[in-house]
Structure 1
Amino acid sequence: MMNIREMQVDDIVACADILCSVYNNEMWQCRWSKETAEEYLTDFFNMQKFVGYVLEEDGAIFGGLFAHEKVWWNNSEVFVEEMFVKPELQRKGYGSMLLGTVEEYISKKGLAGITLSTNKYAPAPLFYKKNGFVDCEHVIFMAKEM
């Protein structure tokens, strides 16, 4: 039976492998190396107010959620940096279980809610809307290549 537990540093290698399997494809068009994925996730893990969970069964990891508490002017919130579930287990409710665990954390701490960003051309926005998220029309994501 799948269960969710708090993430430990030893989980990063398995999570990096899953991240590569989820994003290195035509839909997401990423080209993560295992080493870069491990460094990327380790940076999140080392954040001062890190919040992280893994989806596991019999000691094997099948998904992860990397987030952190973010101070805001009226009440702190949790910002989800990365969330992924092995491709063969997607659309089975496990992503919703991971989000539910974060929601419990937020409730216990009396925080404002969850924020995140995702690719609007992927299936992810529909998943998040199904889980109660709404578009924030007053926010845009901007970038500048150098």
Structure 2
Amino acid sequence: MIKKFELSDLTACAEIMMSVYNNDLWQCRWSLETAKSYLKDYVDCKKFIGYTLWLDGEIKGAIFCHEKIWWNNNEVFVDEMFISPELQRKGYGTKMLSKVEDYIKEHNLAGFTLSTSRYTPAPNFYRKNGFLDAEHVLFMYKEI
């Protein structure tokens, strides 16, 4: 079952996020407090959209998004999405994306945008769900 995110879900979401990203593939080292603060920043966004995946009375995944103003039509930016490792590749991520897609349709928005690591299975998951590689944008950074 997918439910609208509630602030009381924050700790469980942070724990799941840590279980997904604190490994050699993603090379993250989240602490619980840092993960909670990171996710809370998204929750505090004025146009936050969030859902949690519940199985057997427990949160097993989440999607954190926000509605982003754009010149011709607003869109939804996916800030974070994660599913407990043991439940990945079982269709739950697709179900969460579908829930956000329903929101997009209900609010007559343009669609989704997101960024992810090209060196993980994530890009193929998003492509499978209808996302295209954006040839017209380039994500850049400068490390200091």
Quickly name the TM-score band, shorter chain normalised.
over 0.9
Matches of 1:58 and 1:6, distance apart in 2: 17
Percent identity at matched positions?
A: 60
- Alignment of 1:80 with 2:78, yes or no, is yes
* Number of the residue aligned with 2:103: 105
* Number of the residue aligned with 1:63: 61
In the superposition, the TM-score normalised over structure 1's length comes to 0.97
Which 4+ runs in 1 deviate beyond 2 A? Answer: none
Describe the superposition over 1:7-42 as per-residue Cα deviations: whole angstroms up to 9, x where unpaired: 000101000000000000111011111110000000
- The amino acid that maps onto 1:75 is N
Question: How far is 1:61 from its partner?
Answer: 0.1
* Number of the residue aligned with 1:127: 125
Pairing of 1:22-61 with structure 2 (within 5 A) = 22-61=20-59
Q: How many correspondences in the alignment?
A: 144
Structure 2 residue corresponding to 1:139, chosen from 123, 137, 140: 137
In the superposition, the TM-score normalised over structure 2's length comes to 0.98
* Number of the residue aligned with 2:10: 12
**Aligned Cα root-mean-square deviation (Å):** 0.6
Where structure 2 has 5 or more consecutive residues not aligned to the other structure, the ranges are none
Per the alignment, in what secondary structure is the counterpart of residue 10 of structure 1? helix
- The amino acid that maps onto 2:21 is Y
Where structure 1 has 5 or more consecutive residues not aligned to the other structure, the ranges are none
Question: How far is 1:58 from its partner?
Answer: 3.7
Per the alignment, in what secondary structure is the counterpart of residue 82 of structure 1? strand
